[in-house]
Structure 1
Amino acid sequence: MDTQHDNALTHALAAIPGPVPPSGVLHVVIPHTSRFTVVGNHLAQHAELSLIAIGIAVYIQSLPTGTEVGIKALTARFPEGEVKIARALRELEAHGYLRRTRVRLTKGRVATRTVFCNQPGAVLRGAVVGAVPVVGPAVRSTTPAPTLVREHIHVPEPEPVAVPTAVPEEPRPVPEPVPVREAAHPPVRLPLRTAPTQPRRPLPHPRALTPELRQAASALLADLRRHAEELVLSEEAVEELVPGVAAWLERDATTDAIRRALTADLPKPLKHPARLLRHRLTALLPPPLPGIHDLAQPRRTPVTPFQTCDGCERAFRSHDPGHCRDCRAQYWEAA
């Protein structure tokens, strides 16, 4: 079977008239007699539509009337996901090939009416010269009219109709259609889904960069390559990172704690060691150690104790024993 197929293709290539180009595509054109759809080059070779949008447009043109062409239906038919198919449908809408509107049906129902136009430029020319778009199959006439497909109607080729013979008349000149330039559509610009870039936090600095702090920070940074081979820093990088290490030392962080924070869980491979150390010195900066007064327990507010009234034995708060407020009022009135 493969040999017969190769022989048939070889004979078809040999029958191509004219010289064969040394490279590029070769067309073996066999006329279709059934089950075909006419697609214009303005769609197949569109300069601004994506390949998925062109493929979906060709697929929609080949469907009969009433076929569902929503995002769910196209996702079930093709391996592309809903995001790519929705983006392709928006491209077709932006360039005039597709139109989706919400219409209200009987009994309060709402449906989406999808209209696909196989030639948007022809619709524009028809509006200029006064032609009327045809919905559904149309009879071939002498005046060319664009075909507007409603709900993805595929317009089949009209079958020949027997026309009775009539007395021939003098041919009348047919006016040539006025060429109208198609409206240029701007390219579809989809919104970016990337998160906004956060500004980089500044490297911490000590309150006073003394010579002792500078010397200790420089020695610690230069000694990092003994503990991690990836952390080989240049002299310029060491000078840039010295204030960050000095800020850690000023907050009473030990050299071992700083070294563990800078060398733990290094990525493999490490491309930019200086950037990693800058990020860790900034993001992992510990707070200053609290003072002795900060660690002392807060003083509790003194609480007034309960007392028992000598008259009615009711409990009340007072530093001294005696009578409650009501009993004192009664004694004052009696006095």
Structure 2
Amino acid sequence: MAAPQVSAPAHGLRHVRARHTKNFTILRNQLLQRPGSAVTIGVAAYLLSLPEGTPVSVERLARHFAEGTIRIRRALNELEAEGYLVRCRERAGDGTVRTRYVVHHRPGTASDTHVVPAPRPRTRPRPLSAPAANLPAPSPAPGPQAEPAPEPEPTSDQAAAVLLGLRARDPRLCLSERETRELGPAVDDWLRRGVTPSQIARTLTAGLPQPLTHRPVRLLAYRLREYLPPRATAHPADDPSPALPPPLRTCAGCHNVAFRSHTETHCRTCRPEAPLPTAPAG
């Protein structure tokens, strides 16, 4: 080894240089002087100093350095983003897939980074016998036929009008023809439950998020599904209107007593007594 050369500037850093003849690695100043994490520079220098064929993994690097796996992964991601490192998947002969680390001493240089497929075993085709070769192929056994998919429920004109009118309340609710057919059956269900079109429109357009980053069809479908009102219960009687009480009358006899009746015109005091039934003559 030659005698060290000492450069002594007036101020600042001093170098005590020495000439190396073995066990050294040449590193670019672009890598060593990069701003950012010192862990990234240290991991890069360590990888560039390793010989070909050295097993490398995040766990092995974490055992070598004092930093944990999180900082090691972050450093590898930075080196990969800057072109110093390429990680590729390589398939071994036994079928296992492993990660191969390719280190670039100068970013941007080409490398053979690809996935190597496993060799397929060679199989010798089985010869067909003479009788079997002349036989026709057996027909497949008839299996259960798949049921045809149910046709979508048609959309009524009133439901389509409700959905097409939403754009007047909010221009962002401009639905396509396919989206209108998709939401139409749910709107018809609301209409069958007695909800008016204006009530449906207010439910679908009230309190929309700002802004709408996606198509509104999923939001409208969610509101139609989750805010569905219950069905109206029918009155037990045939006539849904309640029975009216008998009319109020004034006694036609004394003109002083008021009572309710559908047929009687006299109060109980003024009503004539009904005659007793007589026995038949015998």
- TM-score, normalised to structure 1's length? 0.31
Question: Which is helix-richer, 1 or 2?
Answer: 1
Normalising by structure 2, we get a TM-score of: 0.36
Which has the greater radius of gyration?
2
